[in-house]
Structure 1
Amino acid sequence: MPVRRALRLVRRYWRVLVRYSTRYTAPVRRAWRRSLQLRVVAITLVASSLLVGTFGGYIADRSSDILLGRARDEARSALATKVKFATDQLTLYPQARDPSLPSALTDLVNDLFDGDSADRGTSVISIRAEHWPDLKAVALPPVDTSELITPEMIKAVSGEGGGVSEQIRTAEIRGETIKYLVYGSPVTTRFGQVELYYMVPIASEDQDANLMRTTVLATGLALVILLGVVAALVTRLVVTPVRVAARTAQRLSAGLLDQRMKVDGEDDLALLAAAFNQMAANLQRQIVRLEEMSRLQRRFTSDVSHELRTPLTTVRMAADLIFSERDEFDPAVARSAELLQAELDRFEELLTDLLEISRFDAGFAALDAEHTDLVPIVERVAERLAGLAERAGVEIQLNLPDTPVIAEVDPRRVERVLRNLVGNAVEHAEAKPVQVTLATDDAAVAITVRDHGIGLKPGEERLVFNRFWRADPSRARQTGGTGLGLSISVEDARLHGGWLEAWGSPGEGAQFRLTVPVRAGDRLVAAPLPLIPRDRNVEVS
């Protein structure tokens, strides 16, 4: 239990740490993602720091090794001279019990210290004779050498097979902490072996090495900062025109087609600005030309639709008269009168749709929204298309709520959308049922129209809303409407602030979904009904 409690506490504190670190580092991460200049400067600083640090450390270490090596060479040379002098002096004493030997050792240390070329205020010379109790260790100046001459060094010098040994030690001499290069060497005499220790201060070399490290560090830091400043300036020279180009492109995309970049100089950035301005000018000309062509096309469509109304009315009157007297004609003439009446109906529908499309294109379409119960609208559409469904052998199945579904919509436009969707579904159902489902939630109302006919191929769910697009051109020549129904329907949905979407699969039929907000002007987030039907893998009889 204590282990589990500890693990829970660790996980809890870890989550808190991650949450707070994420919160406080979010501005940094945002700036890192958005600023090219920051990334370039940061990468330059890191790379230059690693490079300068590596070479600076190598140079400092090599300089320290050179300074220490020089001190070692000098100390070894001095030690060899002192060992030879001590050997010559102590050879005069054949026995360790000679009463004059202790004073001779002291005199020897004095002579060695007087002949030392190093700083006599800090260098130390000591002779030890550990195997002869009567001979005590002598050191000049008279200081405690226990911190400088360690037992390990004594063993290395005086032990069996002993020889010259070296150490670097730090000791406090006369209240001052000094680093020493300590050498020990055995001195062979007629009465045995003694040890000579020579301790040379390397404070000056250490100071020089520290000064060199500080110099290298300061120089490297200054170089890194200089590289960062240079990288920032160079990046700024490149990034600033790019930012200007981005802002100009945003203004162009917002419709401000007269925006241009400032061209300075003749370098690559100036060439980029000039090319950008040329591109913007070409786009402006093309957009203006296309807008003029679109305006002329919309005006042409509107004018033609209006102008055709007058002769169509006259032809309609004549056709109605002929159609009413068709029983008195020959069968062939009567059939022609029926075909004329049907094509006039279709032509009139086409003119109506063209006028509606022209209003959408001109931006004159208005939404007359009111609180409306959508259940009667769906029932009315199904009732009006019942004859068409009966002739096609299709059953229209309604899945409607038992309670009213109230939404702020334009009932005329919603009914037109449903009439187009249900009519298309009946025509393509291939004598299979068509399901119309209505559902709502707090924010949206959705209506789906599902058929089990030929379906749609991949990619056709986006093309189906294009004007005059037909999935099966040969079929469209015999049945179907004007080819503008779904285009008008999607515009009606957008006018409500809603969606009109399609799904289809070959052999599994298709489903269209109309989604509108409950309150006019609200933004849609989700639909109460799925676009892909739940029965897509169920065999429909």
Structure 2
Amino acid sequence: MLRIDPIIVQARRLRLRRLVPQAVSRRVRRLLAVVRRQWRRSLQFRVVGITLLLSAALVLAFSYTVASLISNSVLQNKIDQSKTMVDLGAEYATRELTGFTQADDPSLPPALRNVVTQLYGSTNNQQAQVIMLRRSGGLSAVWPPRKSAQVMNEPQVSAIRPLVVGARPGTYKQIATLDIGDGLQKYLVMGTPVAVGTEPIELYYVIPLKTEDELVRFTGAVVTGTGIALVALLALIAAMMTRLVVTPVRVAARTAQRLSAGLLDQRMVVRGEDDLARLAAAFNQMAANLQRQIVRLEEMSRLQRRFTSDVSHELRTPLTTVRMAADLLFASRDEFDPAAARSAELLQAELDRFESLLTDLLEISRFDAGFAALDAEPTDLVAVVRRVTDQLAALAERCKVELKAVVPDTEIIAEVDPRRVERVLRNLVGNAVEHGEGRPVIVTLAADASAAAVTVRDHGVGLKPGEEKLVFNRFWRADPSRARQTGGTGLGLSISLEDARLHGGWLEAWGAPGKGAQFRLTLPTRSGDRLVSSPLRLVPDDARADETALIGEAP
């Protein structure tokens, strides 16, 4: 027969005892979390909760006051009736025992029993008890003719005896919980001294308060039940009234969400002429105005995009003709006089810039129309970075800027559109060389398991606070008066940002006045993946070191 070790059983019991409170605690925490979440999110829940708490406190105070008043009134009425009965009983006992002058008179006990019997018969309460005690000689009591199991014993009588002993003449009361054969009940004990010769005799009435106690409990139960029903009714009324106000607000919130999602034809239903109806009408009017304005702006934007696209396409034909004539003049410039030769060179340069601007406008129009497509293929980004730096080496030499590429020794393969990535890097490196102020420009490439990043760092004039977002706006320039070497169109960074977004990547900028700027291009290594981090920091290490030094020097 298998026998379980008692130590193992005890350990399991102790573990179960620990796990049960933990499980209860987790459930309580989850319940509290749900309540807190509802309290934050639901206006109706807050209103009903506050109404429930306040009404519960008010009903509790009212119920306690009413129950106390009823209880005190019932008890005081019983005390007044019993006091009158005790006074009459004391007068009757004094009158019947007036002839006894000696405490040891042998006829005194029968007389006491007779007096108690008469008094007991006049109580009109079969549950009451009448007791007469002689102050000397221990317990000398005359009990009513009842069952022995339902009369007070000597310890119980001794417990109530100090009520009268040593007190001034008069009637005294005491409420006690006693067990006189019927279990613990509340009794009203009334006592008064009765002078008989030289020895006072104590007269007691022990009156049960069962009926009054049941009445008080019934009243308390009725008041409690009524209070609970009233609190529930108030909570229901608060929920219904709050719902009348919260429902239109919720409808307005849902309608606003649909409007923000682009469903501009959504409206609220207007019922009646009250404040909520006026709110719904005003909301609908606002939505209609917004719809008109948005439609108008969309139409203007569509016309603008169409105008840009049409003009760009229409300019292609005359530009081709002008280009052919300009190429002919540029090829024959040696036969012209110096002024005409210089004009041919300027015409060629401006035509190059105009053609570049036209190409950028066509590219922007494709992005705006949503026709831009990504031709992703596995590409070695190390080769792309080196190709871009080699192409811009001549520009860096003219600007007297040292152009340096920091790339890994191994290949970094990513699924990208090489033409677009190369165009982004040309824009970033070209701008860095233009704004490098003759200081080095560093291009850094790094990758991790999910992303590849390229940073272009220059040490030129930098960017003012807030300009790191403006640099990607179309035709925006940090310094309009600044001379340019490459004659940019002002659309390069805008197109670069769209190219990065088309890859599902990031194009970000950092800059500080006098500390230069750094642009970071982050692309997923697998097409369609979502970026969560970048292998390279946006803020350069040297700039972070300077900030740390300044913080350390601060008082």
After TM superposition, the score normalised by the length of structure 1 is 0.90
For residue 126 of structure 1, what is the aligned residue in structure 2? 131
> Partner of 1:5 in structure 2?
none
Partner AA of 1:212 in structure 2: T
Offset at residue 156 of structure 1 (A):
3.8
Contact kept, 8 Å, 1:147 with 1:169, in 2: the verdict is no
Q: What is the correspondence of 1:401-440 to structure 2 with a 5 Å cutoff?
A: 401-440=408-447
2:309 matched to 1:305? Answer: no
Q: Secondary structure at the match of 1:521?
A: coil
Q: CA deviation at 1:355?
A: 0.5
Give the 3 Å change call, closer, same or farther, for CA 486–18 of structure 1 in structure 2.
farther
Partner of 1:241: 248
Q: Distance in 1 between matches of 2:22 and 2:389?
A: 57
Q: Is the 8 A contact 2:186 2:210 kept in 1?
A: yes
Deviation string 1:31-84 (CA, Å, 9 cap, x unpaired) is 444433333323322222222122112111111111111112222232233233
Which shifted more, 251-260 or 373-382?
251-260
- Residue 44 (str. 1) matches residue 30 (str. 2): no
Q: Is the 8 A contact 1:147 1:171 kept in 2?
A: no
How far did 1:339 drift? 3.0
Match of 1:137 in 2: 141
Task: For 2:528, give the aligned amino acid.
Answer: G
Cα deviation, residue 289, structure 1: 1.2
Deviation, 1:29, is 4.9
Alignment pair present for 1:292 and 2:280: no
Partner amino acid, structure 2, of 1:337: A
2:534 pairs with 1:530:
no
Task: Find the aligned partners of 1:511 and 1:216 in 2 and give their Cα distance.
Answer: 77
Identity among equivalent pairs (%)? 63
Query: CA 1:23–1:260 in 2, change beyond 3 Å: closer, same or farther?
Result: same
Q: Which moved more, 1:339-348 or 1:531-540?
A: 531-540
Name whichever of 163-172 and 483-492 sits farther off: 163-172
Q: Name the CA shift for 1:129/1:28 in 2 (closer, same or farther; >3 Å).
A: same
Residue 106 (structure 2) aligns with: 99
Query: Which sits farther off after the overlay, 51-60 or 307-316?
Result: 307-316
Q: Which residue of 2 aligns with 1:3?
A: none
Asked if structure 2 preserves the Cα contact closer than 8 Å seen for 1:156 and 1:163, the reply is no
- Structure 2 counterpart of 1:224, from 219, 227, 231: 231
Change (3 A) 1:150 1:304: farther
Q: 1:490 to 1:203 in 2, by over 3 A?
A: same
Q: Which amino acid aligns with 1:194?
A: I
Q: Of residues 315, 328, 333 in structure 1, which corresponds to 2:322?
A: 315
Cα 1:320/1:279, change in 2 over 3 Å: same
Tell me the C-alpha RMSD between the 2 structures: 2.8
- Deviation of the 1:26 alpha carbon: 5.4
Residue deviations 1:375-433 (CA, integer Å, cap 9, x gap): 10001111111111112222122221121111111000011111111111111121222
Contact 1:162/1:186 (CA < 8 Å) preserved in 2?
Answer: yes
Structure 2 residues without counterparts, runs of 5 or longer: 1-14, 548-555
2:79 to 72, 85, 98: 72
385, 390, 394: which one pairs with 2:392?
385
Structure 2 SS opposite 1:183 = strand
Kept in 1, the 8 Å contact 2:258–2:266? The answer is: yes
In structure 1, what is the Cα distance between the partners aligned to 2:28 and 2:382? 53
What is the aligned residue count? 530
Inter-partner Cα distance in structure 2 for 1:157 and 1:280: 88
Instruction: Give the drift of 1:88.
Output: 3.8
Is the contact between residue 171 and residue 180 of structure 1 (CA under 8 Å) also seen in structure 2? yes
Range 146-155 or range 496-505, more displaced? 146-155
- Higher mean displacement: 20-29 or 34-43: 20-29
TM-score by length of 2: 0.88
Give the C-alpha shift of residue 329 in structure 1.
4.6
Distance 2:16 2:231 in 1: 43
Q: 1:105 touches 1:127 (CA, 8 Å); kept in 2?
A: yes
Task: Report the counterpart of residue 466 of structure 1 in structure 2.
Answer: 473
Give the Cα separation in 1 of the matches to 2:418 and 2:69: 90
The more displaced of 231-240 and 439-448 is: 231-240
Structure 1's unaligned 5+ residue stretches are 1-7
C-alpha deviation, 1:365, in angstroms? 0.3
Confirm or deny: 8 A CA contact 1:148 1:171 kept in the other structure.
no
